[in-house]
Amino acid sequence: MAFNIASSPHAHSRRSTSSLMRTVILCCSLGVAAQWYFFGWGVLIQIALAGIVSVMAEALVLKLRHRPVVPYIRDNSALLTGVLIGLSITPLAPWWITVIGCLFAVIIAKHLYGGLGQNLFNPAMIAYVVLLISFPLQMTTWLPPSSLSAEPLSIADALSAIFTGFTTDGFSVHQLRLSVDGVTMATPLDTLKTSLTTGHTATEILSGPVFGIVGGIGWEWVNLGFLIGGLILLKQRVIQWHIPVAMLAALFAFSSIGFLVSPDSTGSPLFHLFSGATMLGAFFIATDPVSASTTVKGRLVFGAMIGALVYLIRTFGGFPDGVAFSVLIANMCVPLIDYYTRPRTFGH
């Protein structure tokens, strides 16, 4: 008999991989529901499409690699990758955007490195970055929240817009982006970043219609949903607290310093915490056990690095939200982080 030990990280849990992945997907549901409520049926359609394509791509690659298909499909890792990609893509992005992202995530970012447990980068985030760089227009065409939308969409309209580019009434995606006052909408982070370059102050910008109580209409509730889901993951001990706490603490600290130094050129700490993909990144993306740091101190460094990079990219970078880029840069540093944060061997 042979006793085989896989490479780290080792999951100290009696739960199977499929159970852990399923729990993570279920804990996403509150954030998904909030995103669907504020941004329409396109959110659910993109998640469903991404999940189906990711599972099919996984099955195809496993078949080509002469691996058993059913056991690997049942671990739900491909499905979780699809859910994260579907959440990251704009609700009315063309269907082929979703397909390209899922194929790249599963085939290139995951199986090219050997499959689950061997990938260096988070597959969903590297696919998102590739799509954002390759198709910036389609990846930034967010609809206004339902309360500001001039044309509420039915599920038939959303399906038609995703697969044909027009709703059943003939409205294009660009026309759907117009709010009731005729202003083309963008995400709160994008609006803040763009408006600052035109000479407006943060106080003037944050009084606009797209901004809500804390982080923007819709987005603050989406982040709250993912925060609650993340706390459930912590309670269930599916993830550990080190990475999300370190990431959120670093983002809060850097944004507080920036806000104190120059309040007219940056958002408040709460704005950064409840805008964009902050909570999704902290609890569901950065905590990926394969691509994250494996030591206790390393997880704290890893999370803090992501939080600091998110603020720096949002404030000084060329993209409004920096969660995906920050996670990938931190993934690159994991071997170095783990090397210098190894626990001392007993007796040395």
pLDDT (tens digit, 9 = 90+) per residue, 307-323?
Answer: 999 999 988 888 888 89
Which pLDDT does position 124 carry in this prediction?
A: 93
Its pTM surpasses 0.75: yes
Cα–Cα distances (Å) from 12 to 21, 240, 296, 298, 348, in that order, read 15, 11, 14, 18, 25
More confident site: 265 or 88: 88
Residue 234: exposure state from Cβ atoms within 10 A (0-12, 13-18, ≥19): middle
- The percent of residues in the chain predicted with pLDDT above 70, rounded, is 88
What average pLDDT does the chain have? 85
Q: Is the pLDDT of residue 123 over 80?
A: yes
Q: What is the pLDDT of residue 168?
A: 80
Least confident of 143-152, 158-167, 260-269: 143-152
**Mean of pLDDT values over 187-205:** 75
Whether pLDDT at 216 is above 80: no
Query: How far apart (Å, rounded) are the C-alpha atoms in residues 83 and 285?
Result: 11
pLDDT number for residue 249: 97
Q: Is the pLDDT of residue 132 over 70?
A: yes
pLDDT of residue 177: 65
Highest mean pLDDT among 114-123, 196-205, 273-282: 273-282
Sign of CA pseudo-dihedral 312, 129, 178, 36 = negative
Alpha-carbon dihedral sign for residues 217, 221, 226, 230? positive
